[in-house]
Amino acid sequence: MNVECILPLTTAPHPDENINGYLRRLCALNGVQNLALFRKALGVSKLSSTTSDVQSWTKLAEAALQPLSLLAAMQWQKRDAGALLGLLNFRGFAVQKKYLRTSRLRVCPQCIRISEIIRDTWSLFHVTACTIHATELVDSCDQCFVAPGEATPLKYSSATRAWNCHCGRHLGEIVTRPARPEALLVSTAIEQSLKPDISEGSPYPALNEEIACLPPNDLLTFVDIIGTAATSNSDEDIPINSRTACYQNGVIDRSADLHTYKRRVHAAGEIMTNWPDSYQKLLSEIAFRNPAPLPQQIDRRAFATKIGAMVLFPRKSVSGVPLKILQKQVDEYCASKLNIIRRKRNLATQNPCALRVQRIANMSALARQLDLNSTGSVFQKAYRRSIEELSSSEQGVETDQLAAALRASVVKQLEQCMDTISSTAAAVMLEGGALNRQLCGWDDPALLQPISASMNYFKKRKVSYRLSDVLSIRDRFIALAIRSDAIASLCEIPRAARMFLTEKYNKTDLLVDLLKNRIALYKVGQPEHVFDLFVDAKEMETYLTRRDLALVLQNGKFLKLSDLNRLSLKLIGNLQPFTPADMKRLRCAGTLRFQKSEVYDGQRYHSSYVYSAGDFIEHVLKPNFGEQSVAPIIGQFEIQG
């Protein structure tokens, strides 16, 4: 075959296809009998997913008449060495190279037989099942052996037909078994993390939300840790003598066969199915498994083995901090079973944002810049809260910009903290008096809003308020007050509240009406508190009457006869009450709208009537008692708001 030739027959790669599988498809499509010679003729003998040589990728793109960018999607490019070593760009996600198998081919015989597709995700150590056909993947021939009892491994490239083993066995004919549900769960979870849309129509059980949110590399680390811990017995778990925390580099054994990883994946799948209870049970089995060589802290004494250290100090996530999903569980185990609260390690080992600014804006450095004590609880809370907020919002920002944003956020948090007062202090400022009581009746959008729990730095306080808000609302009330000493019916707000407040008209309603100037405020001298102000009892009584009537009319209420008589008394004054006979005549005359219902008293049914309050005023009171008697009050029914 001429290197300069373009392939007679060509096809585009599958979105999830491995480069080695794509080369096999091209080889079979063009009828070439030897895969190794086909690759050599194209000049891509050594081309693999990890090949960084652009020339090899260009040759294949020209021969297959495919855009270079389309083939580049199958390349596992190196990423900048961030917090972890050996990161590759795998399908657009950061994955450590140690999780990718590059020396031995894994296939699904049914996929080979039907579509001749080798998927990229099958290269991941912990993907052991085909999620399409629910079968186990195979990595060796079932008819030939390289040594007694050792099946021939499937290679990425070999001097054979495209889809055949050395012995002539077609890869699609290799016998496989149905995959266990645990293997399907793990494989599906990994594929979902790489392709979120794959979950649509998935027949497999839903994952725990905390697990489903893990990025691919963190999920692989998670599966590897719990699978290794669950399949390592006490005889294999070597005691260690270490007084310092160490983040394990990993326990991936690249020489391990597929059977070993199937065991780990099955164990991990069982734990994931019943997370976190199964993991807590596993921690109980590992704890105190082998005695510690030297006395240590209780948590390290309990987990004084190689596997114990792996679960006690989980490996780092992609962000550079220990895997939080596992760290949280081991902390909960220590608190509940060992009765110890584990010391919080340096913030830079817990939060990726803190890790990035560790050199220039750590807690101590920022405290020195602000001339504050870094051990102060308020400063530490402000720093931690700022770090958490920036971690969720500031992605891809330069370190210097991140440090500046952190400083600005901490300063803002501290200023807000200084502007907070307790509910008791707010009550003294607004209502006066020496009673040590909580502020109540002021929580309304028109009055005051308490600080949310996320902004309250003092755990002992149930409720806090902004000092500036309290002072502002106090000044607004005092500014509304009219200076007057001559009105005999004046009474202070607390006394008026005792006189007029009801279940339907509470303290908050009164304060809102006062602030909106619906009820006039008066002052004598120089008041310091809102409750030093006065209201006119007669004005307030009139206002409440108007308010009750307005609510009745605006809502189009239907009232019983007793309520109509009380309404008449408020409007007209001394008035003979209406009787059922009067109401019957009005019903017969069609004067009032009414609603009828039958009420059972235990012996017989009685007719019960309710009447339109608006019709009663308009067609009964006004015509019979005169427009002049009713209109002055009716005309004031309009109440703002």
Alpha-carbon gap, residue 494 to 496, rounded angstroms: 5
Residue 190, pLDDT score: 93
Q: Would you call 611 helix, strand, or coil by DSSP?
A: strand
DSSP string, 94-162: EEEGGGB--SS--B-HHHHHHT---BGGGGBTT--EETTTTEE-B-EEEEEEEETTEEEEPPSS-SS-T
Mapping DSSP to helix (H, G, I), strand (E, B) and coil, where does residue 13 land? coil
Distance CA 527, CA 87 (A): 70
Mean pLDDT of 499-508: 85
pLDDT of residue 23: 93
Q: How far apart are CA 335 and CA 32, in angstroms?
A: 65
Which residues are CB-contacts of 231 (< 8 A; sequence separation ≥ 6)? 263, 264, 267
Residue 144 one-letter amino acid: C
**Which residue in 461, 466, 459 sits closest to 426, CA to CA?**
466
Residues of the chain with pLDDT > 90: what percent?
23
Spatial separation of the C-alpha atoms in residues 640 and 617, rounded to whole Å: 22
How far is residue 178 from each of residues 181, 192, 213, 364, measured CA to CA in Å? 9, 21, 28, 57
More confident position, 34 or 629: 34
Containing 565, the helix (H) or strand (E) segment is helix 561-572
pLDDT digits (tens, 9 = 90+) for 256-312: 678 888 999 999 999 999 999 999 999 999 998 877 666 567 888 888 888 888 888
**Given a cut of 90, is residue 355 above it in pLDDT?**
no
Place of tokens 């008096």: 433
CA–chain centroid gap for 114, Å, is 41
Q: What percent of the chain lies above the pLDDT cut of 70? A: 83
pLDDT category of residue 554 using cuts at 50, 70 and 90:
low
Nearest to 237 by CA among 153, 140, 147, 306: 306
Extract the tokens encoding 437. Answer: 């009581």
At residue 81 the predicted structure's pLDDT band, cuts being 50, 70 and 90, is: low
Backbone phi, psi, residue 187, to 5°: -65, -40
Q: Which residue has the tokens 């060992």?
A: 338
Question: Under a CB-based contact definition with an 8 Å cutoff, are residues 130 and 121 in contact?
Answer: no
pLDDT at 635: 46
Tell me: the pLDDT tens digits for 115-150? 999 999 999 999 999 999 999 999 999 888 888 878
The tens digit of pLDDT for each residue in 309-348 reads: 888 888 877 777 778 899 899 999 999 998 888 776 666 5
Task: Give me the pLDDT at residue 250, please.
Answer: 46
297-306, 408-417, 624-633: segment of lowest average pLDDT:
624-633
Question: Above 80 in pLDDT, residue 206?
Answer: no
What's the confidence (pLDDT) of residue 626?
Answer: 60
- Residue 122 · residue 18 · CB < 8 Å: yes
Helical pair 277-286 and 258-273, crossing angle rounded to 10 deg: 120
Buried b (16+ CB within 10 A) or exposed e, 238-254: eebeeeeeeebebbbee
Q: Given pLDDT bands bounded at 50, 70 and 90, which one contains residue 640?
A: very low
Residue 270 pLDDT: 94
Q: Is the pLDDT of residue 605 over 70?
A: yes
d(CA 369, CA 611): 74
Pairing of strands 420-422, 482-483: unpaired
Residues paired with residue 492 on neighbouring β-strands, in sequence order = 534
* pLDDT beyond 50 at 641: no
The H or E element spanning position 466 is strand 464-466
Tell me whether the omega of the peptide bond preceding residue 181 falls within 30 degrees of 0, making it cis: no
Name 161's Cβ contacts closer than 8 Å, sequence gap at least 6.
Answer: 28, 33, 34, 35
pLDDT single digits (tens) 12-56: 999 889 999 999 999 999 999 999 999 998 989 888 888 888 898
Say whether 639 sits in a helix, a strand or coil. coil
pLDDT score recorded for residue 226: 93
Work out the end-to-end distance of the chain between its first and last CA atoms, rounded to an integer number of angstroms.
88
pLDDT in the model for residue 557: 74
8 Å CB contact between 105 and 154:
yes
pLDDT grade for 237, boundaries at 50, 70 and 90: confident
Please state which of the ranges 115-119, 456-460, 474-478 shows the lowest mean pLDDT.
Answer: 456-460
Distance CA 617, CA 614 (A): 5
- Report pLDDT for 332: 92
Give the mean model confidence (pLDDT) for residues 538-566: 75
How far, in Å, CA of 428 to CA of 116, rounded? 80
638, pLDDT greater than 50: no
Given CA atoms 204, 210, 215, 217 in this order, what sign does their dihedral have? negative
Per-residue pLDDT tens digits for 148-205:
878 888 888 888 889 999 888 999 999 999 999 999 999 999 999 987 554 444 444 5
Spatial contact of 489 and 499, defined as CB atoms under 8 Å apart? no
Pull the structure tokens for residue 55. 């020339």
Residue 638's identity, in one-letter code, is E
Mean pLDDT computed over every residue of the chain: 81
478-492, 531-545, 547-561: least confidently modelled range = 547-561
For residue 173, the model assigns a pLDDT of 93
Cβ neighbour number for residue 155 with a 10 Å cutoff: 17
Task: Please state, in angstroms and rounded to a whole number, the distance separating the CA atoms of residues 502 and 495.
Answer: 14
Residues in the chain: 641
Q: How far apart are CA 384 and CA 455, in angstroms?
A: 12
Task: Tell which residue, 446, 462, 464, has the closest CA to residue 508.
Answer: 446
